[in-house]
Structure 1
Amino acid sequence: MANSASGMAVDDECKLKFLELKAKRNHRFIVFKIDEKIQQVAVEKVGGPEETYEDFANSLPADECRYAVYDFDFTTAENCQKSKIFFIAWAPDTSRVRSKMLYASSKDRFKRELDGIQVELQATDPSEMSLDIIKGRAL
């Protein structure tokens, strides 16, 4: 079977916004969407540093796939401030099969473009990416 991911382009803005999140920490999260017409991953929404995890979770559509990165700040048991960058592949059960296949087949290539991801999550339901799960994966 031909690899449909090979034709998926990544908009430069995706890499630029990710670098800003990673280096300057001026974004809390970024939601990415595949534009099927032009076969390209583009930035759909950028969350400012003051936005919460709830704001992030609410920005993911209930019945469409998305990729997202979330910069999670936490305090370790030793009282150290840390942060981890999560990559979340959001593929709700209610989304179209074709869309789920497109996102699944393009994920690894897209993720390689974003250098600095520390934790990856696959979620088909909001409970699979709850704040408790994020905290558990961060530590």
Structure 2
Amino acid sequence: MANARTSMGVEEACRRAFLELQRKKAHRYIVFKIEEKRKTVVVEKIGEVDESYEDFRASLPDADCRYAVYDYDFVTDDNCQKSKIFFIAWSPDIARIRTKFLYATSKDKFKNELDGVHYEMQATDPTEIAIDIMKERAH
């Protein structure tokens, strides 16, 4: 486990999906997971543009860790349409300790692969990534 930080790979599909979300607005969110046997971060789920925040929240497992990016659209006080990309490190309290450690030690390396993230959030339960919190941070 000591090498988790340096040996974690990232599938090209992760970068490609993120660029599609960032530049083409082709997705609402992406959920990534670590495949421990392969020591690689992979795309687990891609949310369509018309999916809701509730759909995104439901895609995060209750008892396992994940990384995710969410494209939060909003209208400013000046009536301008804006978008901010949130990186979420999801680590529920009931996840296995070993898994939480693996995700925690690999997070920065993986996040650095996703150039263009505006905000980072770490959450152990759904209240910590509520849409109201995103709204507050984005405005």
Common fold by TM > 0.5: yes
Cα-to-partner distance string for 1:23-67 (whole Å, 9 max, x where unaligned): 100100000000000100000000000001110000000000000
Question: Residue 129 of structure 1 corresponds to which residue in structure 2?
Answer: 129
User: TM-score if structure 2 supplies the norm length?
Assistant: 0.98
Secondary structure of 1:94's counterpart equals coil
CA RMSD for the aligned pairs?
A: 1.0
Q: Secondary structure at the match of 1:28?
A: strand
Q: Are 1:97 and 2:121 an aligned pair? A: no
Structure 2 unaligned blocks of 5 or more: none
Identity within the alignment, %? 60
Instruction: Check if 1:69 corresponds to 2:69.
Output: yes
The TM-score normalised by the length of structure 1 is 0.98
1:31 match: 31
Q: Post-superposition shift, 1:2? A: 4.0
Residue 79 of structure 1 and its aligned partner are, at CA, apart by: 1.1
Shift in Å, 1:85: 0.3
Secondary structure at the aligned position of 1:50 is classed as: coil
Number of residue pairs aligned between Structure 1 and Structure 2: 139
Partners of 1:66 and 1:88 in 2: CA distance:
8
Q: Which residue number corresponds to residue 108 of structure 2?
A: 108
Structure 1 portions without partners, runs of 5+: none
1:56 lines up with 2:56 in the alignment: yes
Which segments of structure 1 move beyond 3 Å, counting only runs of 4 or more?
none
